[in-house]
Chain A
Amino acid sequence: MEKIQRNIIVHISDIISEEIIKDEAMAFVRACFQCGTCSGGCPSGRRTAIRTRQIIRRVILGLEEVLSSDDIWLCSTCYTCFERCPRSIPVTDIIIKLRNLATQRGYMKPPHKAVTHILADTGHGVPLGTQKGGEPNNWSQLRASYGLPDIPPTTHSHPEAVKDIQILMHATNFDKLVDWKPKNTELKPKVNEKSEEKSEGKNEGESKVKRKAKSKSKSQSKVKEELKPKKEVEIKKELEIKTDSQTKTESNIKSESETKKTSTNKKTVTKKKKGLKKKLKKTRISNKNKKK
């Protein structure tokens, strides 16, 4: 039986909105008066659980669940809400920004991760494949009919370039963010090995940003403490069938490794909490002063 969720807002902060308002146009987010035009006219909202108005409200109140929930991923970025917003809020751009923040803070969906893995392995998000049964796709004939070479001049014709992409991903820490490890260790540049060992010893490659976010969210609400990590199978199942965003919580969409970390690294996280909190506060104040 599922535990009863209290679902009470106990901490309101600028932790999300301060990221958003760095952009002058997106700063209008704080002017939102929750009229509901965005949700009411959302084409995606007619078919899915996305409630744009509530996304914006959670941003204003600094509720981290906006990053962990499915909602921001259900937007089709059609820009209808932005067109109609009476307060000129670039809603769609904000949702895209939230996706960036969510990824940085470790709230990435497994299917999205899977796509990045394909990208890392092949150099393409959607690589050229084969038909069912192994028959070659008719893309090569199509290309030929237009007078193009059979294989496009991408990593498909230059498999050696895939390595460059992987190096790039590693240099930007994107590989850790998406939990990608090269199948062929030869491809790994030397710098890679060093940092890999280091991070494995500590936090299994968890990025600094991610840790920060986590510690913050831990301190935020009692709600989250009450929620115990779910089994992998359960989570996967839920991910497939979930449509109701209301019942979504942070933990049941976190990837397997993420949930493990939460339980094993509880102590280290709480230790770091205080220091990080102070740091956060400092940066916030200095941000404000800069604005001033």
Chain B
Amino acid sequence: MSKSKINIISPSNNSESTEIRIGVYLCHCGVNIGGVINMDEMVKFAQKLPNVVIARQYKFYCSDNGQAEIARDIRDGLVNRVVVAACSPRMHESTFRRVLVDEGLNPFYFVQANIREHATWVNMNDPAGAQRIAQDHVRMQVAKARELRALKPQKVMVKPSALIIGAGIAGINTALDLANQGFHVYLVEKEPTIGGHMAQLDKTFPTMDCSSCILTPKMVEISRNPNITVMAYSEIEHVDGYVGNFQVQIRKKAHYVDQLKCTGCGECAQHCPVSVGNEFDLGLSHRKAIYIPFPQAVPGLYTIDMEHCIKCGICASTTVCEPQAINFDDQDEIDTIEVGTIIVATGYDPIDVSNLGNYGYGRFENVITGLEMERNLSSTGPNLGHPVRPSDGTSPKSIVWIQCVGSRDTREGYHPYCSRVCCMYAIKQARQYKEKHPEAQCYIFYIDIRAFGKGYEEFYELASHEYGIKFMRGRLAEIQENPDKSLLIRAEDTFLAQPIEINVDMVVLSIGLETTHDSGKIASMLAIQKSTDGFFMEAHPKLRPVDSLTDGIFIAGVAQGPKDIPDAVSQAKGAAAGAAILMAKGEVEVEPYFSIVQPALCSGCRSCINQCPFGAITFDEILQIAHINPIKCKGCGTCASTCPSNAILQNHFTTKQLMAIIDGVLGDYQV
């Protein structure tokens, strides 16, 4: 983006010399405002304010008729600045700006006074107080309107390529959707294979589809799509740029196996003498130091785990590796790619089990996690689909699933949120076990059963009705190990208000989902926000659930918050659509709220550079002043308030405008 393309209208060279004529439009918002304060009084009040030529009131200014009234006043030359006192600008600012644009007026000659949220809603029981506050708001915005300057929205080009971080089911779906629309996709995955957590699951609720059967064809589709560059075993190193023009550095970790020569024959792994726990099976099975995580991995090429490799060189001999793909001197590579959009689909980590000592995990042999149970139930898992008690290898005759482990707990070290998938996966696992062992007793100790999705409640009903799984409403209170390694469960049956003490063979902890351990690093690299739960924050929880607050960066899947496969896929497709809109249009308009450094005033102290949360400020070594990238700048104003020389001006929130607001509200008060 060259500087010349950006049309900066500096507030100082405002050429508007015509008289300022402000129109104030007071909206009743039904009874939200009009039912609390006296609108006739408000009109009289507004009319007396300086530069106000007209003040009107109407039931709903956002309606067609309301908008037409404002448009008529502009057309008639009555007003050239518009103040609407109504709801929040987040609700209708764009609506009214459009009216100004349609009438040939600069949209930034509009300001909105929020007298609903700020005055009437919060002071419903104090109409007189609400009236005073509403008057203050109108006075402030009228004062600002006098200082408004015309601004022009910026346009930037968008490159038709996307980076997708994370190749789980969400990343895979986003990648396919974008690639099939003709955009080039870089699919980056930190593990040696794509597929994510879904590859570890045995069956999926509520349809009991085999997880691999529905996932692996998608994985193959990815590897065959010419528009997709799969970068497995790679991590994001650095991100620069802004919407439409991101420069991303990607570290391709050394495989120590030439990925072009390797045929995936597996001869090397058969000869490798080093055996370590397989992460894919959560350490329940073994792999060699040279390995692929699981047979259906994509790409199905081998990697040497240098942490455990003893460099014996057996795999490198020509009798073992005929194509001679082994390369012990392999090194990490840094690739730089340019993309127009970024989709974050980094998924989740299962809740850290090291914190679960009080559930007996790690202390009692027969306490396992839900994900371990999943691998146990998988026909490709360590026990070939027959879950056994870790202590003696027998099939448990009774299993207890404990719900909300690590979730719905406001104490330190746990998560206050609901992980959304645990109820359903516990029911699914219990059903799977019952199918294999109908005589076994399966208990699910829960606080609430959240079977919210399509077909979920029916799945739950069937589990109790047909399978006889016992749903025990009560959270686990205590767990003890008996000498025979069976477990004593203490809880309450809250339905009967009676404590329970039962002995069971095995306990499965339905652990929840938490944000990935490296999500903080990714958030700061991409300058996107995280919500209090640690997951990436969406721009609006309801209306912009796949957008981040940074333009051009989208969030898909569990990276945004716990969700099941159907929801993750829906969101992935939404994120793909969001990114495709930008790339298909080829250019994007951004709000001109950026800050400007006034070269004459900047002392080059650089204090603003570190303060900028969006990495928008760089230092111009030649001119020895700070420079703000107007596209990356989000107009937060941090730099303007930091600058010791008052050299930074923020469009639409200039010091002059803000002082006018303060003078407006303090107008009546004498110090």
Contact = CB atoms under 8 A, between A and B. Distances in A.
B506 to A, nearest CB: 16
Nearest to A58: B496
A103 interface: no
B470 A60 contact: yes
A11 B398 CA distance: 12
A54 B441 contact: no
B470 A8 contact: no
A66 B461 CA distance: 24
B456 interface: no
A60 B500 CA distance: 14
Contact of A288 (B438, B498, B500, B502): B438
Nearest to B473: A34
A9 to B, nearest CB: 4
B495 A12 contact: no
Contact of B502 (A11, A17, A31, A291): A11
Interface string A268-292: 0000000000000000110010011
Contacts of A117: none
B496 A9 contact: yes
Nearest to A17: B468
Given A12-B443, A31-B464, A60-B470, 5 more contacts: A7-B498, A8-B500, A9-B498, A12-B500, A291-B438
A12 B470 contact: yes
A28 B464 CA distance: 9
A9 B497 CA distance: 10
Contacts of B226: none
A21 B449 CA distance: 24
Contact of B496 (A10, A54, A87, A285): A54
A246 to B, nearest CB: 9
Interface footprint category on A:
20 to 34
A34 B495 contact: yes
Contacts of A30: 464-465, 468
A223 B495 CA distance: 19
Interface string B440-467: 0101000001000000000001001100
A32 B439 CA distance: 21
Residue among A17, A31, A87, A284 having the largest count of chain B Cβ atoms under 10 Å: A31
B153 interface: no
B502 A9 contact: yes
26 contacts: A7-B498, A7-B499, A8-B498, A8-B499, A9-B498, A9-B500, A10-B501, A10-B502, A12-B443, A12-B470, A12-B500, A14-B468, A17-B468, A21-B468, A28-B465, A30-B465, A31-B461, A31-B465, A34-B473, A53-B495, A57-B493, A57-B495, A61-B496, A87-B461, A87-B465, A291-B438
A61 B465 CA distance: 14
A27 interface: yes
Contacts of A291: 438
B502 A12 contact: yes
A33 interface: yes
Interface string A57-85: 11011000000000000000000000000
Contacts of B496: 9, 54, 57-58, 61
Contacts of B500: 8-10, 12
Nearest to A8: B499
Residue among B449, B465, B501 having the largest count of chain A Cβ atoms under 10 Å: B465
Interface footprint category on B:
20 to 34
B294 interface: no
Nearest to A27: B465
Contacts of A8: 498-501
A288 B464 contact: no
B233 interface: no
B493 A61 contact: yes
Contacts of A58: 496
Nearest to B467: A30
Interface string A22-49: 0000011011111000000000000000
Contacts of A27: 465
A107 B191 CA distance: 64
A80 B501 CA distance: 35
A274 B208 CA distance: 41
Contacts of B468: 14, 17, 21, 30
Contacts of A288: 438-439
A248 to B, nearest CB: 13
B471 interface: yes
Interface string B243-261: 0000000000000000000
A225 to B, nearest CB: 15
| Contact residues of B: prevailing secondary structure | strand
Contacts of A87: 461, 465
Nearest to B500: A9
Residue among A17, A61, A292 having the largest count of chain B Cβ atoms under 10 Å: A61
B430 to A, nearest CB: 13
Interface in B467-488: 468, 470-471, 473
A221 to B, nearest CB: 10
Nearest to B460: A33
Interface in B493-515: 493, 495-496, 498-502
A12 B469 CA distance: 12
Contacts of B499: 7-9
A288 B437 CA distance: 11
Interface in B105-158: none
B61 to A, nearest CB: 46
A21 B467 CA distance: 12
Contacts of A17: 468
Contacts of B470: 12, 60-61
B342 to A, nearest CB: 44
Contacts of A7: 498-499
Contacts of B443: 12
Contacts of A28: 465
B441 A12 contact: yes
B502 A33 contact: no
A292 B500 CA distance: 30
A11 B468 CA distance: 16
A53 B438 CA distance: 27
A54 B465 contact: no
A292 B436 CA distance: 11
A288 B498 CA distance: 29
B489 to A, nearest CB: 10
Nearest to B499: A8
Residue among B441, B464, B495, B502 having the largest count of chain A Cβ atoms under 10 Å: B495
Contacts of B473: 34
Contacts of A285: 439
A61 B501 CA distance: 13
Interface string B189-202: 00000000000000
B458 to A, nearest CB: 11
The 6 closest A-B pairs by CB, nearest first: A31-B465, A9-B500, A57-B495, A8-B499, A34-B495, A30-B465
Nearest to B492: A9
A69 to B, nearest CB: 12
Contacts of B464: 30-33
A288 B465 CA distance: 14
A108 B501 CA distance: 30
Contacts of B493: 9, 57, 61
Contacts of B439: 284-285, 288
B399 to A, nearest CB: 13
Nearest to A13: B441
A183 to B, nearest CB: 44
A12 B493 CA distance: 11
Residue among B439, B441, B449 having the largest count of chain A Cβ atoms under 10 Å: B439
A8 to B, nearest CB: 5
Given A12-B502, A14-B468, A292 B438 contact: yes
Contacts of A21: 468
Contacts of A9: 493, 496, 498-502
A164 B330 CA distance: 100
Contacts of B461: 31, 87
Contacts of B502: 9-12
Nearest to A292: B438
